[in-house]
Structure 1
Amino acid sequence: GTIVSAVVGYFSIWFLLAFLRRNSTAIFIIYRVVLGVIILVLLWQGVMSPQI
Structure 2
Amino acid sequence: MPCAETKTGRPQTTRRQLTDHHLPVTTAFAILFAVVERHAARACEALDDYLR
Report the TM-score, using the length of structure 1 for normalisation: 0.48
Structure of higher CA gyration radius: 2
Q: Which has the higher helix share?
A: 1
Report the TM-score, using the length of structure 2 for normalisation: 0.48
